[in-house]
């Protein structure tokens, strides 16, 4: 499936640019929204439950006193965080133009971006191969060309 998304449209829900306030959930405990570092550290945990509990503890704003968190508490905290940061989970409403079937999917932005980077890298390697084969240029010579010039040479090779 291929589609285009306007980045500005995704960010409309948080247009003021101010960071979200901490989320207050249980007994005056306050939690900040997780950072990418928090998520990376949580991903290193042995299982998903340990990762969730690790993330909850990492996001506590005032971690002076001991805080015990049940699975139910962690779920409620996660729900409050999701409400505080609507861009944390991006849901896409999809409709098939051929059959009219409708559905909803979560956009995994990290996987999406890495897939785009991998596709561009493969395309660039193909361009190097095609131009090096056609003209006998080295990889460095092909890569020193601007993208526009590389495209023009590729059009000539494929003509």
Give pLDDT tens digits for 105-131. 888 777 888 899 999 999 999 999 999
What confidence score (pLDDT) does residue 11 get?
59
Using alpha carbons, list the distances in angstroms from residue 19 to 86, 88, 136: 12, 13, 53
* Token pair of 107 as six digits: 């956009």
What confidence score (pLDDT) does residue 27 get?
66
Residue 149 in contact with residue 156, Cβ under 8 Å? no
Q: How far is it, in rounded angstroms, from Cα 74 to Cα 80?
A: 10
pLDDT in tens, 47-102: 888 888 888 888 888 777 777 878 888 888 888 888 888 777 788 888 888 898 99
- Among 33, 61, 39, 63, CA closest to 52: 39
């Amino acid at each position: 499936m291929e589609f285009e998304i306007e980045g500005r449209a995704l960010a409309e829900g948080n247009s003021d640019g101010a960071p979200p306030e901490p989320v207050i959930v249980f007994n005056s405990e306050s939690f900040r929204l997780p950072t990418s570092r928090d998520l990376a550290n949580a991903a290193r945990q042995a299982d998903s439950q340990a990762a969730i509990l690790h993330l909850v503890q990492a996001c506590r704003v005032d971690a002076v006193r001991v805080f015990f968190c049940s699975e139910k508490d962690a779920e409620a905290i996660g729900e409050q965080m999701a409400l505080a940061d609507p861009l944390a989970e991006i849901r896409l409403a999809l409709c098939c133009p051929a059959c009219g079937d409708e559905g909803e999917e979560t956009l995994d932005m990290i996987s999406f971006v890495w897939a785009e980077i991998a596709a561009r890298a493969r395309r660039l390697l193909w361009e190097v191969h095609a131009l090096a084969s056609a003209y006998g240029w080295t990889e460095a010579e092909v890569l020193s060309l601007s993208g526009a010039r590389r495209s023009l040479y590729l059009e000539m090779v494929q003509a």
